Structure 1
Amino acid sequence: IPAQVKVIEHVRPKYACRTCEKDGISNTVKQAPVPHSVIPKGYATPSLLSQIITSKYQYGLPLYRQESMFKQHGIELSRKTMADWIIRYAELFKPLYDQLHQHILKQPVIAVDETTLKVVESEKVNSYMWLYASGADSPIGNISGTEIPNIVLYDYHNSRAGQCAVNFLKGYSGYLQVDGYQGYEQTQATLIGCWAHARRKFMEAKKGAGKKGSGKADWALNHIQKLYRLETQLKDKTVEVRYITRQEKSVPLLSQLHMWLMKSAQQVLPKTKLGEAIQYCLNQWKKLERYTLDGLLSIDNNRAERGIKPFVIGRKNWLFSQTATGANASAVLYSIIETAKANDLNVFEYVMTCLDELSQPDVDIEQLLPWQFAKR
């Protein structure tokens, strides 16, 4: 059955008692109360709003396309109206977003990444959408024996300054899984490097070598692959087993790789792709080897890179945000949707329910957290 759009019309007749009026009784006119609305006097239902929000932020469908789809149903719903709704209703989700923010700061490990965003009314060429993620990509992926909620939060800024991360993290002192960007050094967290980035550098060196041969790059790639092979074996193991195995097997491999890097740095020209790959690893070495310190840690920052990918895909469709207010609304709604997805919820139903309950007085925000909502 194709999707259907229905207009729900509420009829509220007024009744008055003439006998009461003759007897001088006041307030004789009675009328049914106004049905609950997500926002007072707003005519959009939670299901319609959920459809618009999930279409844009889950499936990357720009508002102008949604506008044309509604026209096929004979409904005039302009993109400006929908944009105003999104900004307005994103405010309803702010308490839930803030609650998720408090929960993520309690986690032992946070993965971080950032990507560019064009905001038309911003004075700067590029603004940035920062991503903070905890847990794994899905509930099944959580390390056995460890309760780590899956949280994916976006934070908009018109800058890439490290102070943006400092402000969001509010003195967080746990582990921060990052790439090589120096801005994260300003935080109070213990930084964990990303072997996926290091491996990528050697892949570029191998491609750049062409027919000249890429023996050294191949050696490094094979050695890094040994580290990843161990991680594949440890994927479903407990934190304790991961730590012990890494100490027994990963640490010696890392020691061999470090010695090779030190030796190769003296043999390879620093301006070449291979030289840059070697120097990147040496500069990042303390961060790159730290993943062996705790079984909770990952060998790379792919958790954050996968988390930010839905935003990147959506950006290819809708291209830009008109205002900073719209960008902030997008950050909130992407956070709600991606966290719901990470907790294996039906996103449409979750957003619809949240819209309905967040507009009610005395709502219990804790019960709307995705991992709590899944138990309902």
Structure 2
Amino acid sequence: GCWDHARRKFVEASKAAPVKKKGTKVSKADVAIGKIRKRYAIEKRIEKLPPEEKTRQRQQLAQPVLDDLKAWLEKNSTRVPRDSLTYKAIQYTLNQWELLIGYLADGRLNISNALAENAIRPFAVGRRNWLFADTPRGAKASATIYSLIETAKANGLEPFAYLYHVLRHIGGASTVEDIEALLPWKTPLKKMQEG
């Protein structure tokens, strides 16, 4: 249900198309990209609105754009060769349609899952390395460190400074409250910078 993925398929189709000569029609992939771009323009305009208003604006502004795009996709799915990247992009978008339009019902949802993918990328990259953790305890230790680093990032803290702060103070923690005070969302930046 990510519009970035759907758009990327059309971008790939556009790049793979033969070079256009001046005065020739734009490709169907380029037309789809233009229609999808309208969606992003709407999101840019409403990004700072509260969720309830964003939902209302999406239904008012984005729904007609999406209806137009879907009609165009259905009409053109039979007008491109089945082995083309454009056909595959059209089919992907149509097959994902219900998921792609799910964001219309809730202003808290994003049209892209790029932020979530970026947050888990270190885990995906490290996955192969974890095969060599040697022991279950080593794997658990790695997972703990990765969790601390990513949680620090998610809370706007510089990971090295946060880990340094935790390691300097955890030995003196004698209560649950002392340990909880070291959690990333409870560790003020100023306190960390002071050591």
TM-score category (smaller protein): 0.7 to 0.9
TM superposition shift of 1:237: 1.7
Change over 3 Å in CA distance of 1:223–1:359 after alignment to 2 = farther
Matching residue's letter, 1:206: S
TM superposition shift of 1:368: 3.1
Which residue is equivalent to 2:183?
Answer: 369
Query: Is 2:38 the partner of 1:226?
Result: yes
Which residue is equivalent to 1:102?
Answer: none
Matching residue's letter, 2:6: A
Matching residue's letter, 1:221: I
Query: Is 2:133 the partner of 1:323?
Result: yes
TM superposition shift of 1:230: 1.2
Q: How many angstroms apart in 2 are the aligned matches of 1:366 and 1:197?
A: 39
Which residue is equivalent to 2:5?
Answer: 197
Which residue is equivalent to 1:209?
Answer: 17
Moved more, 346-355 or 357-366: 357-366
Matching residue's letter, 2:129: F
Alignment of 1:119-130 (within 5 A): none
Which residue is equivalent to 2:76?
Answer: 264
Q: How many angstroms apart in 2 are the aligned matches of 1:333 and 1:284?
A: 36
Q: Which of 308, 313, 332 is 2:120 aligned to?
A: 308
SS of the aligned residue for 1:368 comes to coil
Moved more, 277-286 or 362-371: 362-371
Which residue is equivalent to 2:99?
Answer: 287
Higher relative contact order (CA 8 A, sep 6+): 1
TM superposition shift of 1:265: 1.2
The number of equivalent residue pairs is: 181
Based on CA coordinates, which of the two structures has the bigger radius of gyration?
Answer: 1
SS of the aligned residue for 2:18 comes to helix
Which residue is equivalent to 1:298?
Answer: 110
Aligned Cα RMSD in Å?
2.6
Could you tell me which runs of 5 or more consecutive residues in structure 1 were left unpaired when the two chains were aligned: 1-192
Q: How many angstroms apart in 2 are the aligned matches of 1:280 and 1:270?
A: 13
Could you tell me which runs of 5 or more consecutive residues in structure 2 were left unpaired when the two chains were aligned: none
Higher share in helix: 2
Higher share in strand: 1
Change over 3 Å in CA distance of 1:358–1:220 after alignment to 2 = farther
TM-score, normalised on structure 2? 0.80
Write the deviation string for residues 175-216 of structure 1: whole angstroms up to 9, x where unpaired: xxxxxxxxxxxxxxxxxx100000000011101112267521
Work out the percentage of aligned pairs sharing the same amino acid: 43
Write the deviation string for residues 62-117 of structure 1: whole angstroms up to 9, x where unpaired: xxxxxxxxxxxxxxxxxxxxxxxxxxxxxxxxxxxxxxxxxxxxxxxxxxxxxxxx
Q: How many angstroms apart in 2 are the aligned matches of 1:370 and 1:195?
A: 32
